Amino acid sequence: MWVRDVMLRDVAVVGPETALRAAAEHMWKSQGQLLVVGDERGIYGVVTTRELVFGAEAQVQGYSVGGVGDLASLDFVFTHEDEAVEELARRMVHTGARRAIVIDGALRAVGVVSPRELARPDAVGRASEESFPASDAPSWTGTSAG
């Protein structure tokens, strides 16, 4: 299974200076729960619904939040549509990333993969089968095979 099979497409990309209200509108229109923050110079991070709400609350309380770029999380890795889902999942676990931004050949964001996409039954089944031999139960199960 490949990243292109599980990724969310039509991800909204907004510039780092985008106002929180405008960012919320982009998020609403894209029907997603996150935004990619980037411009022609690069991709700077991701902003989830939760971060957007917290940022808006901080503004209301008088904290300086200039734009959505101030809320961008660096908790992501880059991937491409032709990467195997199993490999992406391993990289995300290894780096502790919660999201993967799918980029095309021109380094533009074309999709996103989150734990939700990786948890699809067809993706989990394959990843689990190929992750460890049947004779080796994973250590977290507390059991031994055989």
Task: State pTM to two decimals.
Answer: 0.75
The average pLDDT across 90-104 equals: 93
Query: For residue range 43-75, what is the model confidence (pLDDT) as tens digits?
Result: 999 999 999 999 989 988 888 888 999 999 998
Question: Which residue type occupies 49?
Answer: T
State how far the Cα of 83 lies from the Cα of 21, in Å rounded to an integer: 35
- Neighbouring CB atoms inside 10 A of 91's CB total 15
The average pLDDT across 119-132 equals: 59
Residue 103 has pLDDT above 90, yes or no: yes
Q: Which has more confidence, 105 or 100? A: 100
Element (H, E) at 119: none
Domains of the chain, with CATH numbers? Answer: 3-130 (3.10.580.10)
Question: Which residue type occupies 85?
Answer: V
- Rg of the chain over all Cα atoms, to the nearest angstrom: 18
